[in-house]
Amino acid sequence: MKLSGNTILITGGSAGIGLAFAKKFLELDNEVIITGRDQAKLDAAVKEHPKLKTLRSDAGDPKAIAALAREIEQKYPKLNVLFNNAGIMVYRNLGVTDDLGALTSEIEINLSGPVRMVSALVEQMKRTKGTIINVSSGLAFVPFQAAPIYCATKAAIHSYTISLRQQLADHGVEVIELMPPAVKTDLAFIPEDSGAKVITTDVLVAATLKGLGKGKLEIRPGQANQLRFMARWAPGFIQGQLAKGSKSLIPGDAR
């Protein structure tokens, strides 16, 4: 993927990882459009970075995604990078009864959202010979027991992205997977004794741009690469370490 001269859509771009990438892509002379559910956060992002373009949209709502795709087609026909970043992480206790609707909220946003977004924009991406970047996680390889559904969505996105890459290869569409380790954002609190090495968004962005520049299709910065290695060669050990480190985060009595 070339790093400048693109028209880039970043879902969930009003804060955290998404906003960090939006800022850097602006610096590299790209046109950047960000989406989010909170108009106030979108307005704040534009106030700080006036060149940003914003579109209010909900990554978990199929009707909102369809409307977004129509607007993108009309306003930004040169769109050639789709950065599927929107996501939520919820600590859950699977040993208690939960709201059956809220139980799958992470699936709607983290998994169904990118799948629908790709389908809604795939014809445009094929026309522009574009790039799709799906953000999964190092936890796609090893689950963090306090966030069981989040980790399941990221494992699913990892599998989906491989198939997507294979299916779109003949259409000239590049498909990249970014698998961040624990990153210091408002997504979720991660305690110091969890065993996770938390990095900043600046470190993540720098490592990702380095990987993009080298043409990598699966970018695993920092501890994400270690999780992949350990999941393959010492799965019992790494699963036990993460389970121990995250147990205190499970709401209520997890026994």
Of 196, 206, 110, the closest CA to residue 149 belongs to 110
The neighbour count for residue 255, using CB atoms within 10 Å, is 7
Catalytic, 76? Answer no
> Residue 225 and residue 138: Cα distance in Å, rounded?
7
Strand order in the sheet with 174-178: 53-56, 31-36, 7-10, 81-84, 131-135, 174-178, 218-219
DSSP codes joined into one string, 95-127? TS---TTGGGHHIIIIIIHHHHHHHHHHHHHHH
Question: Torsion over CA of 182, 98, 36 and 184, rounded to 10 degrees?
Answer: -20
Number of helices and strands in the chain (H, E) = 9, 7
- Identified catalytic residue from 76, 91, 150, 160: 150
Residue written as token pair 């026909």? 77
With a CB cutoff of 8 Å and minimum separation 6, the contacts of 170 are none
Exposed e or buried b for every residue in 228-240, given b needs 16+ CB within 10 A?
Answer: bebbeeeeeebbe
Residues annotated catalytic, as ranges: 150
